[in-house]
Structures are given as C-alpha cells and as structure tokens.
C-alpha cells in the first residue's frame, strides 16, 4: 500500500493490509493501535449514547402501565434493575483503564441485554403489548449498529441472536398472530440487515480514515526528519565554508606574501640565495592548495556520480611505500612513527584507479598523523580476508573519535570536535572522499575508535578486483619509517 511505500524504517514495516470480510488488519500491532485510536475518538459520543439510551429505556416505562399493565412489575424490574444498570455500568467502565481491553465485549453485552430486555417484556405481556412492543428492538439495533462503536462482526452476532430469540417468543413462548408476526419480522429483519450494513460501512470508513491518518503521520515524521537533516546539512556546509575559507587563505597568504617580497626585491636581486627558502615555501603552499582543490572537485564529482575510474593494475604495496615516503618527513616533524607490516599472503595487485587509491591512502595517513600526538605511531597492515577481499588497515594511537561521531565523520561537510579541527586544521573532506572512492571500487571503509586510545580505519577491495600475482615480484617494505 501507499503507506508502506513511504516507510523508511529499519527492519520489517508494519502491514496495513485489511481483510475485507472480517475488517481486521493482518498486522496485530496495527490492529491494536486502530482499536485504541478509534475507541478514544469515539468515547464522547459513546458515553452520550449510553446515557441517552438509558434515559430513553427508562422513559418508555411510562407506557407500561397503559399497554402492558399485567406485566408492569416485570417490565419495571427489567428496565430499572437490569438494563439501565448495565448501560450505566458500561458507561462507568469507559472511564477506567481496563475499558479498551474489554470495550467490544462490554458494548456487545449492553446491546444484547437491551434487546433481550424488550423481548422478555413481550414474553410476559398480553395483547396488544406482546405484538406492538417489538419496535423497541429496532431502536436497539439502530443505536448498537450505527452510533456505538461495536465491530460489525459483533453486530451480526448480537442482532441475529436477538432476532432468533424474538422468533422463539413470538412463535412458541407467547405466540402472536401470523399476520402480525409477518409484519413485525419484515420490519425487524430489514432493520437487522440495514444495521449490519451500516455497521460494516462505518467500520470500513473508520479503518480507511485510520490508514489515511497513518500515512499522513508517517509523511509528517519523514518530513520532520528530512527537515532536520536539511538543517544539519546547511549548518555543516556553513561550518565547512568557514573552515575552507581559512584553509584556502593560509596557503594563499603565504604565496602572496613571499611573491610580494620577491617582486619588491626586498633582499636584493631575485637571484639572491635568500629567496630559495621562499620559493620552497611557495611551492609547498601551492601543493597544499592544489590538494584541497582536488579533494573538493573529486568529492563534488562523486556526489553527482561523475567521478569515473581510470583503471589499471595497481600494486598496493608500491602505492603504500610511495605514500609513506611522501609523508615521512612530516611525520618525523610531528614525532609520529610510521610502519608497514609485511603482507601475510601473496603480493596484492588491485584492478583500480591508481591515482584515487593513492589519494585514499594519503588522506587516511594524513588524518592519522595529524591527530596522533608526538611519540605515537601509525601502523599499516595488508591482508586477505576469508572471502578473498583485500584489506588495508591503518591503526594509529591518536586522540580517537567518539563512538557517536563515527558515522558523521564519513559524511561530506561534517566535522566533529570543531575545537580539534581548528587546532589541527583540515577541511573535513578526507574521509568522505575515501568512502566515495572505495565505493566506486565496489569496496568500502569502516572505522573503529576509542577516545584517547586511537583509531583503526579499514579499507577493503572485493575479491573481483584482486588480480593474480602471477609474474609480479613485489617486495613489501616492512621497515619502520621514523625520524
């Protein structure tokens, strides 16, 4: 149904399938929710109906003295000692907590007692009372099937039983003329059929309204969730732009500052040796700026599905070795030891995009070094899983990530612990880009971390992308990279 199509729940969604005969939801939990909801909405009308039925039932006692004087005492006992107390008792139960559990039984009993009370009066009455008191049954059926929220199945049972008992009384116990019986049965039977039909249609309508309201409720919840997500995304992007402006400004200031010094020849001719260090700083700043722009462009392409792979055989050990060489000096300055453990199985060759795979490893290693204090370490382990996948695991002894933030750090434009971000720098695009690139390779990335103890980032490539080593002669560099 439409509601189930709109569900975004984890696990099995509730079923709103409705049995057209029994008028019951196939999902027991949904059925309970409908009964509670329907009854709570009907309570005001239900109580007013019970009170009105009690007053009406008692008021018709005025006719007893003139129509059935011979059975007036019995009629009074039926009206005031049996039926009216039952009606008022059910109304009183409607104010208790147990009423939702016994509502159908209690309401059916009230309808049954009211109808049988009238039949009992005709059983002890002489003419004309035994022939003309039957219209009270029509009133009972109308109220029970149309105003009081009794299930249509119960209306069938109660109405049919009342009709059957009336037949026994009018034919056997206290017979009336055949013509009068035919007349009474015609109108009584018609009222039973009309009552059952009205009850069915009203219950069907109530259940369809419930389904509609459930759909609106689910849509509203989804809308609220989307609004919260949109607000969070907007906030994250605003924070990202604030961080990005700082990240871009820093290398640009260096480039502009040093080129300004060289342009003004503040230390003499441009050929002066003093400018050599400035040129190196300019080069590093430009590289940093290029890396930031590359990450932004790649992530933007990945978000719209335009980041494509230029695939070839990629030697994972060689890529890791190259990444370690690129970051070795920076890691040494940070006081962080880098190490690559020997491959436990055959050499690893992946069919994938060499540039992007290198970008994945550089982003993970850069994060690990950045957030690992001096004296810490970053270890890389490459291995094969039982299903043939290739895993590359990065373990650091850094500041760690809170468990609640492990999912958030993989989302674009999201940074956790903004104070750390300001202290250590960075755009917050590294891990989201890692996730996108690994997904493009039909692989994935997972994080495990403990605050203050470090983080383990595991990337994996599926067995379908692992190429046979064959003639490959790879040497996994297992030496420690440290300064």
**pLDDT over threshold 50, residue 1:** no
The percent of residues in the chain predicted with pLDDT above 70, rounded, is: 75
CATH class name, domain 239-303:
mainly alpha
The percent of residues in the chain predicted with pLDDT above 90, rounded, is: 40
Q: What is the DSSP string of 66-120?
A: HH-GGGHHHHHIIIIIIIHHHHHHHHHHTTSTTHHHHHHHHHHHHHHHHHHHHHH
Is 239-303's fold the same as 311-481's?
no
Q: In whole angstroms, what is the distance from residue 246 CA to residue 232 CA?
A: 21
**pLDDT over threshold 70, residue 275:** no
The domains of the chain are located at 2-224, 239-303, 311-481
Q: Structure tokens of 211?
A: 């389904």
For the segment 237-252, the average pLDDT, to the nearest whole number, is 60
pLDDT one-digit tens code per residue, 182-196: 999 999 999 999 999
**pLDDT over threshold 60, residue 483:** no
**pLDDT over threshold 60, residue 408:** yes
For the segment 359-374, the average pLDDT, to the nearest whole number, is 89
Q: Structure tokens of 405?
A: 């933030």
Highest-confidence segment of 248-252, 385-389, 395-399, 406-410: 395-399
Which residues face 378 on adjacent strands?
A: 338, 396
**pLDDT over threshold 80, residue 390:** yes
**pLDDT given for residue 262 in this prediction:** 65
Element (H, E) at 380: strand 377-384
Domain 311-481, classified CATH 3.60.20.10, yes or no? no
Is this prediction's pTM over 0.85? no
**pLDDT given for residue 235 in this prediction:** 65
Q: In whole angstroms, what is the distance from residue 1 CA to residue 314 CA?
A: 49
**pLDDT over threshold 80, residue 264:** no
**pLDDT interval class at 467 (50, 70, 90):** confident
**pLDDT over threshold 90, residue 287:** no
Q: In whole angstroms, what is the distance from residue 432 CA to residue 390 CA?
A: 20
**pLDDT over threshold 60, residue 417:** no
**pLDDT over threshold 50, residue 148:** yes
Q: In whole angstroms, what is the distance from residue 353 CA to residue 258 CA?
A: 36
Residue 268's region, left for phi above 0, alpha for psi from -120 to 50, else beta, is: left
Q: What share of the chain is helix, strand, coil (3-state, %, to 5)?
A: 65, 10, 25
**pLDDT given for residue 298 in this prediction:** 64
Name every residue whose Cβ is closer than 8 Å to that of residue 339 and which is 6 or more positions away in sequence: 377, 378, 379, 380, 478, 479, 480, 481, 482
SS3 28: helix
**pLDDT given for residue 291 in this prediction:** 65
Q: Which of 262-266, 340-344, 376-380 has the lowest mean pLDDT?
A: 262-266
């Amino acid at each position: 149904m439409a509601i189930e199509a709109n569900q975004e729940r984890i696990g099995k969604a509730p079923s709103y399938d409705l049995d057209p005969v029994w008028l019951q939801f196939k999902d027991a939990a949904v059925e309970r929710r409908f009964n509670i909801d329907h009854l709570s909405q009907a309570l005001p009308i239900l109580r007013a109906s019970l009170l009105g039925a009690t007053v009406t039932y008692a008021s018709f006692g005025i006719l007893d003295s003139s129509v059935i004087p011979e059975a007036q005492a019995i009629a009074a006992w039926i009206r005031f000692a049996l039926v009216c107390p039952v009606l008022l008792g059910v109304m009183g139960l409607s104010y208790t907590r147990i009423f939702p559990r016994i509502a159908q039984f209690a309401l059916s009993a009230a309808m049954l007692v009211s109808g049988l009370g009238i039949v009992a009066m005709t059983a002890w009455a002489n003419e004309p009372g035994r022939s003309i008191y039957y219209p009270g049954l029509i009133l009972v059926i109308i109220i029970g099937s149309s105003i009081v929220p009794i299930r249509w199945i119960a209306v069938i049972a109660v109405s049919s039983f009342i009709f059957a008992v009336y037949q026994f009384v009018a034919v056997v116990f206290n017979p009336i003329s055949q013509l009068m019986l035919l007349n009474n049965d015609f109108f009584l039977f018609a009222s039973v059929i009309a009552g059952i039909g009205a009850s069915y249609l009203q219950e069907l309508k109530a259940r369809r309204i419930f389904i509609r309201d459930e759909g609106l409720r689910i849509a509203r919840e989804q809308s609220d969730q989307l609004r919260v997500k949109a607000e969070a995304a907007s906030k994250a992007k605003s924070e990202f732009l604030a961080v990005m402006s700082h990240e871009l400004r820093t290398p640009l200031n260096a480039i502009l500052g040093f080129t300004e010094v060289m342009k003004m020849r503040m230390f003499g001719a441009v050929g002066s040796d003093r400018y050599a260090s400035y040129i190196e700083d300019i080069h590093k700043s430009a590289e940093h700026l290029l890396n930031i722009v590359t990450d932004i462009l790649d992530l933007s392409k990945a978000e719209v599905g335009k980041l494509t792979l230029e695939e070839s055989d990629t030697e994972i050990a060689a890529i890791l070795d190259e990444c370690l060489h690129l970051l070795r000096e920076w890691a040494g300055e940070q006081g962080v030891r880098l190490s690559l453990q020997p491959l436990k199985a055959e050499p690893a060759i992946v069919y994938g995009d060499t540039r992007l795979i290198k970008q994945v490893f550089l982003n993970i290693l850069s994060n690990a070094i950045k957030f690992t204090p001096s004296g810490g370490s970053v270890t890389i382990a490459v291995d094969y899983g039982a299903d043939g996948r290739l895993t590359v695991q990065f373990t650091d002894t850094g500041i760690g990530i809170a468990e609640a933030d492990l999912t958030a750090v993989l989302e674009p434009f999201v940074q956790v612990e903004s104070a750390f971000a300001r202290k250590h720098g960075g755009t917050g695009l590294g891990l989201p880009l890692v996730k996108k690139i690994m997904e493009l390779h039909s692989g994935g990335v997972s994080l495990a971390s403990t605050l203050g103890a470090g983080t383990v980032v595991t990337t994996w490539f599926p067995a379908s992308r692992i190429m046979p080593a064959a003639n490959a002669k790879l040497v996994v560099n297992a030496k420690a990279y440290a300064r």
